[in-house]
Amino acid sequence: MALEVEQVPLFLAPMAGVTDLAFRLLARECGADYTISEFTAAAALTRQDAKSWHKLESDPREKPFIPQIFGSSIDDMAQSCELLQDVADVIDLNFGCPAPKVTRHCAGAALMGKPDDLVKMVESCIEVSTVPITVKMRLGTGTGRINALEIAKQVEDVGAERICVHGRTLRQRYSGEADWGAISEIVAAVDIPVIANGDITNSHSAAKCLQVTGAAGLMIGRAAIGRPTIFHQIKEQLNWGNSSPPWGAPLSVDNQAEARLWAWRRYICLDDELNELTNSEEEIAPELLSKNRLRHAFSFTKELPGSKAFRTELHNNREAKQLANSVDNFLEDLILKNEK
Ligand SMILES: Cc1cc2nc3c(=O)[nH]c(=O)nc-3n(C[C@H](O)[C@H](O)[C@H](O)COP(=O)(O)O)c2cc1C
């Protein structure tokens, strides 16, 4: 029986190395209401680094377009907002990244340990930006007090439009369980929308998280890697509207190989289309094109029978077209075997 929870928007979480433009468009087709670019260093944007600007490309099909930036310098962050505001509909500021290469410069989640600087950064970005500014954060650094609630109130006061909270501390990184109870306290304390994030993996956990937090939206990260069809599945299983699936009958998304083959083909199609567009304007190195594709090739085949041996094959096969074909063949063979 479907769980009764009111419909809220579903967000694809920003994920470095995962949420490239083709994947974001695919997630939208699968039912994600919002997508956010992977995080990009403000310092690189202000020095006009081409690779960083390439990461922030969008497409008319991705509306609203929400680039995410991170940095330790208030000036770089504010300047990046100014540079982005003509292309972005909303700009998201990252205070959640736990990676040492980011936190050692006091950026990402480390800024939660310097709440005054964090709030000043948000305020400065809002001051210069003509588009709304949103914030993504964790519960705290995990070394001092849990201070997400205080920070949430302060960023609301300076004008942040929305907050997304990943229910873990910096210290936890991805271990333990996301604390949805802590998110519910933030939901109760502020008037702006709060998006709950952490450990939502299916319709059951989506409904449970909504019941616990009362959040205005849900953000899904790791469970969408290699499995973007999760957005449609959640909406369908929670009786949220009755939009028809983009893959059409008779595909069964409960059959992992079938769902993944559909999604993989669609990803390749979108990626080819986008690369063609980009390459007509500028030369992008082929390694860059296939880098994302290789990561997705691993994730679209992960945990399926025979995927371990297939991974080795993938390592020796990095050319973009070959990659597309070998994943296609692997998934198609699996479906045929299942049918026998
Ligand atoms: C591979 C990977 C890359 C990530 N990159 C980013 C990022 O660029 N920006 C960000 O705010 N969070 C990033 N995150 C964190 C996710 O957005 C999300 O907060 C986290 O995975 C918890 O949600 P989940 O339990 O649904 O995965 C990343 C997570 C993963 C697994």
DSSP sequence for 84-108: HTTT-SSEEEEE----HHHHTTT-G
What pLDDT shows up at residue 320?
81
Look at the block and give the residue holding tokens 């939208």.
28
What is the CA(337)–ligand 1 centre distance, in A? 34
Q: Where is average pLDDT lowest: 120-134, 224-238, 248-262, 273-287?
A: 273-287
Residue scoring higher pLDDT (108 or 283)? 108
Please name the amino acid found at residue 86: D
Is 269 designated active site?
A: no
Taking phi over 0 as left and psi of -120 to 50 as alpha, with beta for the rest, 202 belongs to: beta
What is the CB < 6 Å shell around ligand 1? 13-18, 38-39, 68, 94, 96-97, 136, 166, 197-200, 220-223
120 with 74: CB under 8 angstroms? yes
User: What pLDDT sits at residue 194?
Assistant: 98
pLDDT at 290: 65
Residue 226: which of 154, 304, 285 has the closest Cα?
304
Q: pLDDT tens, 298-308?
A: 999 999 999 99
Name the pTM for this structure.
0.95
The pLDDT, as a whole number, for residue 297 is 94
d(CA 136, CA 189): 17
pLDDT tens-digit map of 102-158? 999 999 999 999 999 999 999 999 999 999 999 999 999 999 889 999 999 999 999
For the chain, residues classed under CATH 1.10.1200 are 256-339
- More confident position, 245 or 23: 23
Q: Which residue, by CA, sits nearest to atom 10 of ligand 1?
A: 14
Residue 55 contacts residue 37 (beta carbons within 8 Å) = yes
What's the pLDDT score for residue 137?
98
pLDDT of residue 319: 79
Range(s) within the chain of domains with CATH label 3.20.20.70: 10-237
Q: What burial letters (b/e) apply to 257-284, b meaning 16+ CB within 10 Å?
A: bbbbbbbbbbbbebbbebbeeeeeeeee
Query: Domain spanning 256-339: which CATH class is it, in words?
Result: mainly alpha
Average pLDDT over the chain, rounded to whole?
Answer: 92
Give me the pLDDT at residue 111, please. 98
pLDDT digits (tens, 9 = 90+) for 249-267: 656 656 778 889 999 999 9
Shortest-distance Cα residue to atom 19 of ligand 1: 166
- Decide: helix, strand or coil at residue 328: helix
- Res 289 pLDDT > 60: no
- In this prediction, residues 231-250 reach a mean pLDDT of 83
What is residue 242's predicted lDDT score, i.e. its pLDDT? 73
For residues 84-110, give the mean pLDDT.
96
Domain 10-237 is classified in which CATH homologous superfamily? Aldolase class I (3.20.20.70)
Give mean pLDDT, residues 156-169: 98
Note the pLDDT of residue 243.
Answer: 72
Ligand 1 geometric centre to CA of 270 (Å): 23
Q: How many Å lie between the centroid of ligand 1 and the Cα of residue 13?
A: 6
| Predicted local confidence at residue 317, as pLDDT | 72
pLDDT at position 253: 58
Q: Kindly give the number of the ligand 1 atom that is closest to the alpha carbon of 96.
A: 11
Q: Please report the atom of ligand 1 found closest to the CA of residue 13.
A: 17
Predicted local distance difference test score (pLDDT) of residue 250: 53
Exactly one of 30, 81, 97, 209 is catalytic; which is it? Answer: 97
Quick one: which of 66, 63, 37 has its CA closest to 52?
37
pLDDT at 2 (0 to 100): 54
Residue 283 in this model has a pLDDT that exceeds 60: no
Q: Between these two residues, 293 and 136, which has the higher pLDDT value?
A: 136
Output the pLDDT for position 246: 80
Residue 316: the pLDDT is 78
Measured in whole angstroms, how far is the alpha carbon of residue 325 from the centre of its chain? 26
The torsion region of residue 17 among left (phi > 0), alpha (psi -120 to 50) and beta comes to left
DSSP secondary structure letters along 304-325: STTHHHHHHHHHT--SHHHHHH
